[in-house]
Amino acid sequence: MERKSPEDLQKENEDLSREVTRLRFDNIIFETIMNVLPDGFLIVARDGTIKDINPAYCKFFGVVRKDMIGTPISGLIPNTKMLRVMEEELTEIDSFHHYLPGTTVGDRKVAVTRLPVYDRDGKVFASVAHIKFSQYNAKLMQSIQEMGEEIKYYRKELIRHSIEIYSFESLPTASVAYRDAKLLAERFASSDLPIMLAGETGAGKEVFANAIHNASDRRNGPFICINCASIPADLLESELFGYEEGAFTGGKRGGKKGKFELASGGTLLLDEVGDMPLPMQVKLLRALQDNVIERVGGEQPRRVDVRILAATNQDLEKKIADKSFREDLYYRLNVLPVFIPPLRERKEDIPGLIYSFLEDLNRTYGQNVVIAPETFVYLQHYHWPGNIRELKNVIGRCFMTANNNTIGIDTLPQYLLTVPAQGRFGDKALSDIIVTQERDIIIKSLRKHNFNCCKAAKALSIHRSTLYAKMEKYDIKISDLRNAAPASAEAEAILVV
């Protein structure tokens, strides 16, 4: 026999040391897994003795691990199949195992996976078993069921709150034009035909879209919105139709659903549709005609069931003339048109909107901020190019800078202070005009809702207690209103300062 050199012996020792370290490391990992597994785990040697058993399985039997190692498996489980697994080289996946009567275990039936273990020569030298306890699985299934019920509850609550917040009843108005737009949209909501919502930026097109969805038969389905102007042209197709895995670098593993698929069974709002690139308009038209989409990088057509709402602040007919918007797509989307008037054309709604915004802010921040009557002059004489969104932002700013819990003229933005204002209008003081205006709004809401204070307060977007306080302040008595003759159209009209 050739004698090994010291260098060869040193190398073998180093290799052996590394192998021992690796085995020790693997053993630590194995022990950790065995100790934390909630399922049972069992290893039986070729001679039928227990090679290893994890703590979960020991707890199941009420035994101690160190006492079980090296003992016959038949002593712990008389009707064990672990010996047959080795003898017949059987493999069983999730088969049920019934314990014999008298066995001191919590469950009588468990799901077991058994398989033989082979050495390098292909000979069986052990068998292993993975045991799923029915009691554990039952608890897991119960937890999943409870979570499912909880999700179902919160989904219903979310839909209910969504309907409360975004419903036509939650959009009170004293404007004839706005009321006509609401009635038209509410009538259109019952169909599945496309609706085109036209109006200036900030006029409330998305609020209308939500209200239409919640008034439709699709109210229990999803409401999905995509802003066609805010997404780069090269990404808009994948956002609308989704993409398959590997369609492009950086995509999600498994692909991604697009807005059409997410909205299936519900409503899809194409906001700022007038800004959609022409190539995308062609693909959108095809999807609307066939109710079928194809993901980017995919070849499988996918049928979708979507009600389409479109919104724009642009003159689409002018864009058609300029060849920047397809005429066929316009007629496909503009089946049921609804125009939402800008705020400057319904200034009679400004007080109600202000009270609504203030009520929300006071509730959110636990304050009691009010608005001074003279501040209304500036707010109502401004032309509001940003419409309701701009008004809401101004009220939010004034709320945070209010002195002594009062929104005064000094809290208004500088550009609003250029609006001409006077302390008196005709022969009436400004404060009297504001009082008359607010009183008329309350009376009109009470009459509209058949003197139901809860419904009137909800329509005015104020708390019921706030309504009662204002009724007492303005000496409004329901009994007097019931006995009074119905107000004429002129008396019902809201005064615009």
- For residues 412 and 263, give the distance between their C-alpha atoms in angstroms, rounded to a whole number: 41
Q: How confident is the model at residue 140 (pLDDT cuts 50, 70, 90)?
A: low
At which residue do the structure tokens 């029915």 appear?
Answer: 134
Specify the length of the chain in residues: 497
At which residue do the structure tokens 């316009």 appear?
Answer: 330
- Higher-confidence residue: 204 or 494? 204
Say if residues 217 and 261 touch (Cβ distance below 8 Å). no
* DSSP line for 250-268: TPPTT-EE-HHHHTTTSEE
Answer whether residue 441 shows pLDDT above 80: no
Would you call 344 helix, strand, or coil by DSSP? helix
Domain containing 431 equals 345-492
Question: Is 0.75 topped by the overall pTM?
Answer: no
Q: Considering its fold, how many domains does the chain have in total? A: 3
Note whether residue 103 is domain-resident.
yes
> In this prediction, what percent of the chain has a pLDDT beyond 90?
43
- In the 3-class helix/strand/coil scheme, how is 274-320 assigned residue by residue? HHCCHHHHHHHHHHHHHCEECCECCCCCEECCCEEEEEECCCHHHHH
The residue from 293, 323, 341 where one domain ends is 341
> In this prediction, what percent of the chain has a pLDDT beyond 70?
86
- For residues 395 and 454, give the distance between their C-alpha atoms in angstroms, rounded to a whole number: 25
Note whether residue 464 is domain-resident.
yes
State whether 83 and 172 are in the same domain: no
State whether 332 and 424 are in the same domain: no
Note whether residue 154 is domain-resident.
no
Answer whether residue 495 shows pLDDT above 60: no
Answer whether residue 490 shows pLDDT above 50: no
Say if residues 283 and 241 touch (Cβ distance below 8 Å). yes
* pLDDT (tens digit per residue) in 214-264: 999 999 899 999 999 999 888 999 999 999 888 877 777 778 899 999 999
State whether 302 and 440 are in the same domain: no
Say which CATH number the domain at 427 has.
1.10.8.60
- For residues 257 and 259, give the distance between their C-alpha atoms in angstroms, rounded to a whole number: 7
Helix (H) or strand (E) holding 364: helix 350-365
Answer whether residue 487 shows pLDDT above 60: no
Answer whether residue 172 shows pLDDT above 80: no
Say if residues 291 and 307 touch (Cβ distance below 8 Å). no
- For residues 405 and 401, give the distance between their C-alpha atoms in angstroms, rounded to a whole number: 9
- Interval 323-337 mean pLDDT: 96
In whole angstroms, how far apart are CA 251 and each of 147, 246, 255, 293, 295? Answer: 31, 7, 7, 19, 13
- Higher-confidence residue: 475 or 32? 475
The residue from 341, 365, 391 where one domain ends is 341
Q: How confident is the model at residue 155 (pLDDT cuts 50, 70, 90)?
A: low
The per-residue pLDDT for 482 is 82
The per-residue pLDDT for 492 is 40
At which residue do the structure tokens 């306890």 appear?
Answer: 133
In whole angstroms, how far apart are CA 125 and each of 113, 120, 220? Answer: 18, 10, 59
At which residue do the structure tokens 């109710």 appear?
Answer: 291
Would you call 209 helix, strand, or coil by DSSP? helix
Lowest mean pLDDT segment, chosen from 41-55, 110-124, 133-147: 133-147
Say if residues 28 and 46 touch (Cβ distance below 8 Å). no
